[in-house]
Amino acid sequence: MDNSDVRWKQRYTNYTKALSLLENALNIEQPDIVQKAGII
């Protein structure tokens, strides 16, 4: 397997994980100031 192919898969995995965490954060009903800063 080509090294660049492995890196692409790692980047995609990191992207989907980050997107999932962002979606969870956006579902917080009334985030406090620290949570808002983290979402940004």
What total number of domains does the chain contain? Answer: 1
The burial of 25, by beta-carbon neighbours within 10 Å (0-12 exposed, 13-18 middle, 19 or more buried), is given as: middle
Report DSSP state, residue 30.
S
What local confidence, expressed as pLDDT, does residue 1 receive?
59
Domain residues for the domain of 29 are: 3-39
**pLDDT one-digit tens code per residue, 1-40:** 577 789 999 999 999 999 999 999 999 999 999 999 998 8
- What residues contact 22, with CB distance under 8 A and at least 6 apart? 39
Burial class (CB in 10 A: 0-12, 13-18, 19+), 31: middle
